[in-house]
Chain A
Amino acid sequence: VKPAPFEYVAPRSVEEALSLLGEDVAALAGGQSLVPLLNLRVARPAVIVDLNGIESLAGLEVDSGTLRIGAMVRQAALERSAVVAERWPLLGQAVRYAGHAATRSRGTVGGSVAHGDPAAELPAALLALDAVFRVRSASGSRAIAAGEFFLGPLMTALEPGELLVEIEVPAVAVGARSAFVEHARTFGDFATAGVAVVLRPDGGGAAIALLGVEGRPVRARAAEYALLGGASFEEAAEFAAASAGDDYRRALVAELVHRALSEAAAS
């Protein structure tokens, strides 16, 4: 199926893009989610604003310890970045599960975040890393914490007229270790469930983010508190899986969380 008719605009600057956004307008990043939705006619925007010509959104840099990922940075760039691999390894571990090599060369980090798929890898990893999303509109800008950004399946805190411009990832504690584990029918398919873990050193607990368990990525707070209180990985995993669904889903999530914590501890 081909998409319903739409008007296409390709701005050259963020300001120009912001002047075009609004109700019934879709922003096109890498197109790996939006274009299939257009072709299935699930999405029928009147106007598509193509962000691919805006160079200022494509920067990937470290600024006084914080990783700044421009919204249009390709997933493949994140995957290949040496500084990301060294200082934010969780992002490198997670992005390898995002789609396939071919889709990652087009798909963007910002696109995955703004799309808000509950089974997506990068939103869960960014949630575990306490990332902050920088958002702009024609009338101003704001910063939204990852924990407040994802609202439900394909629903985020982005308002019509707002554009995600940058993702800030704070420095990870020295000595922290991370792991990303997921289960899917086949490798690269949408995850049935997954978990991103940052294990802090010296009994400092862990950040545990789950994907595919609820309608949005969520932190497993009960499990995180349990770990701080001295619980074992097995016990924490049971807490994380408590509301994951039927017996199979609970067993699956508990196993994934246990594996992720053990893998991080052994890395």
Chain B
Amino acid sequence: VQGLGAALVEEAVFDEYGQPRSASFADYSLLTAVELPPIETRFVQSPSPMNPLGAKGIGEGGAIGTPAAIASAVADALGGPPPDPPFTAEKLWWALRGLA
């Protein structure tokens, strides 16, 4: 969900003077439970050879693959490079119209 938010809505906006324009959650959009898609979890076991337990860090794993997957889907739909994320409805509308 962290990755989905980054790809779809989250954006730190600055004005021409460098002032942050998204300094509160009134301006900075975050996904909530309503936007949550069904999530299926699977495990791929690939123990690390570097330590006796085979342990690895897995923090924020969902934030790594998700934006790339969404950006690839957008690129596939547009048949070309995607616009800058986040892929808001408005940006995608303009991008699709650019194709027409």
A residues adjacent to B (C-beta < 8 A): 183, 185-190, 247-248, 251-252
Contacts and interface: CB of A to CB of B under 8 A. Distances in A.
Interface of B: 9, 26, 29-32, 34-35, 88-90, 93-94, 97
Contacts, number: 24
B28 to A, nearest CB: 10
Nearest to A249: B90
A187 B35 contact: yes
B2 to A, nearest CB: 14
Contacts of A188: 32, 34
Contacts of A189: 29
A185 B9 contact: yes
B14 to A, nearest CB: 19
B93 A187 contact: no
Contacts of B35: 186-187
Contacts of B90: 248
Contacts of A183: 89
Top 10 nearest A-B pairs (CB, nearest first) are: A187-B34, A185-B29, A248-B93, A248-B90, A185-B9, A186-B35, A186-B29, A186-B31, A186-B32, A186-B9
A248 B9 CA distance: 18
Nearest to B33: A187
Contacts of A251: 93
Contacts of B9: 185-186
A187 B9 CA distance: 12
Contacts of A187: 32, 34-35
